[in-house]
Structure formats: C-alpha cells, structure tokens
C-alpha cells in the first residue's frame, strides 16, 4: 500500500511539473510574439487580404517551433558567443525591414495600390518567400525565440515540454491573427483604411529597424 501511495504521489508531482513547464512555455512565448512586429504585421495583412493565409500561418508556426527547438538544443548559447555574427544579422535585418517599409509607404501613398487584389505578393511562392524573409532575416526572431526562450527553457527540468508549450502558443497566436483578421475585412474595405494600415506597417518596420541599428 505504501508503494502504491508513493507511486501515486510521484505521478502527481511529475504531472504537476510537466504542466508547469508547458504553461510556462506557452505564457512566455505569447508574451514575446504578441507584440507588434514585422512577422505579425505581415500575417495580419495577409489575413486581411485573405491571400494564402493558412500557408503563411503554418510557415510561421513551423518556423517558430524549429527555432525554439534549436534554442533549447543550445544554439542560443553558441550564437551569444559570436557578437560579430549578431552584428551582421542586425544590419542585414535592418536593411530588409527598411526596404519593406519603403514598399508599404508607397502603397499607402498610392490609392490604386490599396486594393487587396493588387497590392503585395500575389503568388503562393512569392508570399512564402516574403514570409520566410520576415521570419529568418529579422534578428529579433533569433534574440527572442532562440536566445531568450532557449535560455528560459533550459532553466526548467522538462525543457522540451516547455518548448512544446512555447511552440503551441506560436501556432495558436498565428492562427488567431491570420484567421481572425477576416472579421476586420469589412472595416478595411475602403482605400483610406488600407492607407492607414500600410502607413502603420511602414512605421513599425522603420521603428524595428531603428531599434536594431541603435541597440
């Protein structure tokens, strides 16, 4: 009877520790990715335009899961020890974000480019290339997902359970962002609304690029 009682108590402790890790991973991931950023702005815009939405959502979620796994596996520690690599990534990422900011600003200034059917990448291939660029050319993704989440995960006993919770949060967030954006479509049916959205996207891109350059 004592052995059975001990086994039950151990199972409860194990289950509690696992649940704590998965919830911690979910909460930390949501806190990091929910902020307005380049990747989120792109997913939101695709959702509003109803163009290749779920392909973009899946690409972002799978990419985050991969980067989180790499962070837990120790890549974050390796990158942190190479400041030159981080500097190169910052400059390349800033250049990409500024380039996209220019394109978004041009769309905001041109009423003809504000129609969802005309603006931005139209083909699935072009859309996914842009999505991958926003994911892997943005140094913030590595700083948040690989370095920070990887470091936090390795403070937990069940770090891979933490990683699973973090990856699940990413999937839920991008699905909600891309799928839920359709509810805003009637509001953004006017060219003036698209002008505001593209102007905001341009401002976000410039702000992120500036934060990279001055960091």
* pLDDT, tens only, 37-51: 778 888 888 888 888
DSSP 35-54: S--HHHHHHHHHHHHTSSHH
pLDDT band at residue 59 using 50, 70 and 90 as cut-offs: very high
Q: How many Cβ atoms from other residues are within 10 Å of residue 157's Cβ?
A: 11
SS3 assignment, position 155: coil
Q: What pTM value is reported for the model?
A: 0.67
DSSP 21-35: HHHHHHHHHHHHHSS
User: Which of 53, 180, 58 lies closest to 116 in space, CA to CA?
Assistant: 53
Q: How long a stretch of residues is the chain?
A: 215
Return the minimum-mean-pLDDT range out of 110-124, 130-144, 187-201.
110-124
Tell me what the mean pLDDT of segment 22-33 comes to.
Answer: 82
pLDDT band at residue 165 using 50, 70 and 90 as cut-offs: very high
| Predicted confidence (pLDDT) at residue 82 exceeds the cutoff of 90 | no
Q: Do residues 200 and 95 make contact, with C-beta atoms less than 8 angstroms apart?
A: no
Q: Do residues 154 and 148 make contact, with C-beta atoms less than 8 angstroms apart?
A: no
Structural tokens at position 10: 């151990």
Terminal-residue alpha carbon distance, the chain: 61
Return the minimum-mean-pLDDT range out of 49-63, 108-122, 154-168, 176-190.
108-122
Q: Do residues 196 and 25 make contact, with C-beta atoms less than 8 angstroms apart?
A: no
Structural tokens at position 36: 């307005």
């Amino acid at each position: 009877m004592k052995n059975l009682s001990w086994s039950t108590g151990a199972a409860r402790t194990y289950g509690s520790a696992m649940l704590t890790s998965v919830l911690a991973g979910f909460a930390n991931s949501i806190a990091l990715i929910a902020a307005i950023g380049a990747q989120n702005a792109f997913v939101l815009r695709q959702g509003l335009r109803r163009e290749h939405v779920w392909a973009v959502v899946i690409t972002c979620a799978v990419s985050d899961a991969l980067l989180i796994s790499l962070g837990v596996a120790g890549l974050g520690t390796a990158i942190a020890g190479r400041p030159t690599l981080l500097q190169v990534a910052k400059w390349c990422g800033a250049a990409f974000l500024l380039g996209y900011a220019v394109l978004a600003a041009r769309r905001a200034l041109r009423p003809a480019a504000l129609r969802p059917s005309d603006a931005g990448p139209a083909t699935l291939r072009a859309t996914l290339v842009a999505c991958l660029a926003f994911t892997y050319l943005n140094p913030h993704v590595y700083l948040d997902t690989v370095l920070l989440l990887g470091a936090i995960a390795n403070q937990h006993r069940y770090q891979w359970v933490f990683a699973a919770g973090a990856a699940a949060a990413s999937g839920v967030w991008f699905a909600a962002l891309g799928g839920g954006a359709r509810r805003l479509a009637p509001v953004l049916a006017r060219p003036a609304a698209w002008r505001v959205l593209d102007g905001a996207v341009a401002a976000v891109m410039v702000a992120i690029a500036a934060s990279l350059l001055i960091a």
